[in-house]
Structure 1
């Protein structure tokens, strides 16, 4: 290999990836179709006000009326809030204000109270979670009829690799991305870490070490971990890969009810089998990157879902069926 080729191979890789991969296309002057529609509507409204009210009022009053209308339309089209277009943000805020803030576990809509009962506030709405059930094989049955498999992956120190190693890792990861033929979501979670237990473990076992120097080093390391946890907000990152499996379309209504249920069950089982196979292939592909990965079983999937709904809290998982007797024991 010549010196020029060696220098080219050792050049650090730098690839620009947009932060929003779902960003709409720019149509004209860097504006999207939605932004152009808002600006066109604002211009039409401004012209209508100008030609309708122009002959009836003085120009300063007309300008005082047109300037706010044009400014509001321009801000709605161009301004952004937390990476979201301002018009979409306002619509989402209005939907949030109109929606009920209380959710209850109910199969159907909450019935209003009788006419003689006066109620303050709004009725709660049924709680609709995206996951309907967790199968024994770890597949998640989604509320929309599909299934999903969760793969837990580790991380690697990409910045410590040489440019040639980085290029190889990117190539392998790119081949895995190009091999995907179904929707895949890569989720990175950050949760707080408490080092108190590790520091206490070192302090308890330090006297049992054979060398006083090792004992002193263990105490110093325990003190370092305690100080690190007190002075910094430590976080640990979890990388989850969610692989979606689509269930075939539901049978026509002319089919008998028990046949429809049987076909839906078979379609869900086949979709779960395909998603599990894709999850195993994803774990093997990541193993080529020296990234540890595992397909979560039912218990691990429940733990991940519970932690995602309420992170940082202790949870009791209830796996009882409808006919089981639920008991509670409180220690003194």
Structure 2
């Protein structure tokens, strides 16, 4: 007789800090060594310039702040970033215009009365410029991006062999990647009112009155739920990136990702132009009372409506 199969422990080694910079010398990165070397050169030049002309205490008073500032800049961190990168981002933020418009700003005429001279707004430059018919998003600095939506898998409810199979399938997808991907897990407020309206409008087209009544009751339930609760929805979106010039490569990578995630146990699909527009619209303004559950018209397509006779 064969012994019953026992649940095997599912373990996976995940390396931490994959994108951490390499330590070159004395546990310091190349960036830290460059900052400290530049500070040491400045301190040496200052010592050569004033070391023989002023007392030692004055020289130390000049060099100690330079050394301290260099050490803090090289070794300090703020909000998970190196301090020099954080300061550079702060300077760029302060120098960036606060107001942006989608078109070129027009210089005000000089003949009109101007009570207060305000800075002109800057041009709003979004990272994505167009959405093709196949759903690929054109990004000038990157290439093209195709989106894949996927559901989640409850691994805790699976047995040991099933967990091992899920981890193995996910690992095979990661090893098969030939370009960068981004997995975005977002939680947004679900707009149940608009969904209830669509269900109520479609209820009159159902073939049986009982089905129509059930649909109307369900729409009323959604309206009541949206009024008394704050429902949230979690979405998992995988962005597959392809280099510039490779037309259709992003969609092919997205189709491969969708097929690989199906082996994991997820329901996945490549987004077309209308659904990708909805996802991007909801991502730009996550606090708006809309969601990505219904498709939008792509930016370059005209909006038409069929006129009923």
TM bracket (short chain): 0.7 to 0.9
Displacement of 1:322 in angstroms is 9.5
Using the alignment, how far apart are the partners of 2:51 and 2:141 within structure 1? 54
Root-mean-square deviation over aligned CA pairs: 3.7
Distance 1:17 1:159, change over 3 A: farther
Using the alignment, how far apart are the partners of 2:302 and 2:10 within structure 1? 62
Distance 1:320 1:124, change over 3 A: same
- Asked if 1:280 is matched to 2:255, the reply is yes
Q: Provide, for residues 35-78 of structure 1, a one-character-per-residue CA deviation record: whole Å limited to 9, x for no partner.
A: 10001111222222223222222222322222211111001101
Q: TM-score, normalised by structure 1?
A: 0.69
- Is the contact between residue 149 and residue 279 of structure 1 (CA under 8 Å) also seen in structure 2? yes
Using the alignment, how far apart are the partners of 1:310 and 1:296 within structure 2? 19
Displacement of 1:114 in angstroms is 5.2
Bigger CA drift: 51-60 or 312-321? Answer: 312-321
Partner of 1:189: 186
Distance 1:311 1:320, change over 3 A: closer
Using the alignment, how far apart are the partners of 2:300 and 2:34 within structure 1? 53
Q: Which secondary structure state, in structure 2, belongs to the residue aligned with residue 27 of structure 1?
A: strand
- Asked if 1:55 is matched to 2:31, the reply is no
Using the alignment, how far apart are the partners of 1:157 and 1:318 within structure 2? 34
Displacement of 1:116 in angstroms is 6.1
- Is the contact between residue 149 and residue 238 of structure 2 (CA under 8 Å) also seen in structure 1? yes
For 2:31, which of 29, 34, 38 is the aligned residue?
Answer: 34
- Asked if 1:239 is matched to 2:236, the reply is yes
Structure 2's unaligned 5+ residue stretches are 196-221, 305-309
Q: Provide, for residues 138-191 of structure 1, a one-character-per-residue CA deviation record: whole Å limited to 9, x for no partner.
A: 222223472221100111122333443322212111111111222222122222
Partner of 1:297: 272
Partner of 1:139: 136
- Is the contact between residue 13 and residue 163 of structure 1 (CA under 8 Å) also seen in structure 2? no
Partner of 2:157: 160
Q: TM-score, normalised by structure 2?
A: 0.74
Q: Provide, for residues 276-318 of structure 1, a one-character-per-residue CA deviation record: whole Å limited to 9, x for no partner.
A: 2222221111111111111112221111111111013136967
How many residue pairs were aligned? Answer: 271
Q: Provide, for residues 242-265 of structure 1, a one-character-per-residue CA deviation record: whole Å limited to 9, x for no partner.
A: 1123333xxxxxxxxxxxxxxxxx
Map 1:84-163 to 2 at 5 A.
84-106=81-103, 109-110=104-105, 112-113=107-108, 120-144=117-141, 146-163=143-160
